[in-house]
A and B are shown apart, each in its own frame.
Chain A
Amino acid sequence: MVKHPMSVELEQAIITRRGTQLLGPIDLSLSGTGFTIVLGPNGAGKTSLLKVLHGVTRLSSGRVRWSVPDKEAREAQAYVFQKPIMLRRSVRQNLAFPLQLLNFPKAEIAERVTHWSGRIGLEDALNRPATRLSGGEQQKLALARALIREPQVLFLDEPCANLDGRSTLEIEKLLLAASTAGTRIIMTTHDLGQARRLASDVVFLLNGKVREQATAQDFFSAQQTEEAQAFLNGDIIE
């Protein structure tokens, strides 16, 4: 599939809930290619930022502007949640679900399901209930379910939280392969090692605001703010 890069800009984006400002004001520009890692302590607004970009959380003010029309942008995106949401169906049906929503032909659905179940090592578990898989298997299935639509932009909210090293490595391989194939990835993580391994660029958030945005190389070698330095040193920042 030929992918046309989809860039996005946030302009004075603010989320306010019950009088508390959760995010913003944020001005942010993300190019249509690359692997962006969003870093920051708990409560910094990482998940909110992802959801705003994906369009599932509404802004209180400001705007999100994709380089293509909104409808087209939404259809070209996929999202993987921190805690994988499994449909109460088999592995096969979970994989097929996004394609069925888009009315793909049955033969193509079967072909893609076979391909992706093999990619995540669940080809022998296609008829098993997805909810009975292990945490790592569920997260791989959630990732495959997102990638099976061949999205142009993939959002991931701490996809490896609570996973062991082996599962993390398997997921990282899938993500790097997707990135190499042209999928734009925007991901949050607490794992600095993972951020170093995967990121092409980094957005550092604190208290709902972007404190730094730089290439991964620049961010990890020469931070521009004291907060980012403290964060990378493992200090507690507020």
Chain B
Amino acid sequence: MNEIWAGIQAAFRLIVTLDPDLVQITLRSLQVSLSALVIASAIALPLGTWLAIRRFRFRRLTIATLNALMGLPPVVVGLIVYLLLSRSGPFGVLGLLFTPTAMIIAQVIIITPLIASITHQAMRELWAEYHDLLISLNTTKRQRIWTLIRDGRRTLLTAALAGFGRAIGEVGAIMIVGGNIDNATRVLTTAIALETGKGDFTLALGLGFVLIALALLVNFAIHALSRTEREGRW
């Protein structure tokens, strides 16, 4: 209990003093996770919506696979991305291993199925509601997808936030592909793992509280920006 209290105090101290290391690590965490979120959303939102409205031969199998991929073990993803980006791998020439870009790639792979799957569930319901109208209005596939994404944006926001939550809290994959290099690829989660390993629980807990606060802050900020909670706003 004392350690938790000490952790809260450490977090408070780190934030109030704007500890340079903390600021740098936090900004890198945000940079990596938000970049991954934007890229994954750009792939997953149209994909999930497309799966909701399109009928094709292996649709059920595709959806089942997508749902199964939600449970991808991050460590395995990290390992595969590591092998792909390592010097002897097919993309080794790009020199991306142990860079924030590699961490973003790993996070995109981890969160894309999650966002796409939640999107598909939500869009399936909205499509059932809109189906007759959009067919009657002779809309193109592109117009249907765009209409669903636009009108289902609240649910899609939830999907994106779920993806962000998974990305910002991820440690296994980014540890492998990022290497937890100080001033280069160290982020909050890998820093927590490092401090825990060193036995500095107070600092680890402090960073942990900062991580939780950050996740909450981003959630609130996105909700506020999109005005989703404001009564009557459309």
State the A residues within 8 Å of B (CB).
Answer: 54, 56, 74-75, 78-79, 81, 85, 87-90, 93, 97-98, 101, 127-129
Chain A residue nearest to B231 (CB atoms) is A129
Q: How far is the CB of A30 from chain B (nearest CB, A)?
A: 19
Of B45-53, B63-71, B112-120, B129-137, the one touching chain A: B129-137
Chain A residue nearest to B138 (CB atoms) is A74
Chain A residue nearest to B129 (CB atoms) is A85
Complex partner residue of A101 from B129, B130, B143, B234, CB under 8 angstroms: B143
Q: Is the CB of B133 within 8 A of A128?
A: no
Q: Is the CB of A93 within 8 A of B139?
A: no
Q: Is the CB of B130 within 8 A of A87?
A: yes
Residues on the B chain within 8 Å of A56, using CB: 132, 135-136
**A129–B234 CA distance with the chains assembled, in angstroms:** 7
Task: Tell yes or no: B19 within 8 A of A by CB.
Answer: no
Contact (A85, B232) CB under 8 Å given A56-B136, A101-B143: no
Contact (A54, B234) CB under 8 Å given A85-B129, A87-B130, A88-B151: no
Residues on the A chain within 8 Å of B147, using CB: 87
Q: How far is the CB of B227 from chain A (nearest CB, A)?
A: 13
Interface SS, B side: helix
Residues on the A chain within 8 Å of B151, using CB: 87-89
**A88–B234 CA distance with the chains assembled, in angstroms:** 8
Q: How far is the CB of B176 from chain A (nearest CB, A)?
A: 42
Contact (A85, B138) CB under 8 Å given A90-B234, A129-B232, A129-B234: no
Q: Is the CB of B234 within 8 A of A89?
A: yes
Q: Is the CB of B138 within 8 A of A128?
A: no
Q: CB within 8 Å of A: which of B109-160?
A: 126, 129-130, 132-133, 135-139, 143, 147, 151-152
Q: How far is the CB of B163 from chain A (nearest CB, A)?
A: 22
Q: How far is the CB of A71 from chain B (nearest CB, A)?
A: 9
Give 10 A-B contacts (CB < 8 Å), ordered by A residue.
A56-B135, A74-B138, A81-B132, A85-B130, A85-B133, A87-B130, A87-B147, A89-B234, A127-B234, A128-B232
**A147–B143 CA distance with the chains assembled, in angstroms:** 20
Q: Is the CB of A93 within 8 A of B132?
A: no
Q: Is the CB of B137 within 8 A of A101?
A: yes
- Known interface pairs A87-B151, A90-B234, A97-B137; 7 further A-B residue pairs with C-beta atoms within 8 A, sorted by A's residue number: A56-B132, A56-B136, A81-B133, A85-B132, A88-B152, A128-B232, A129-B232
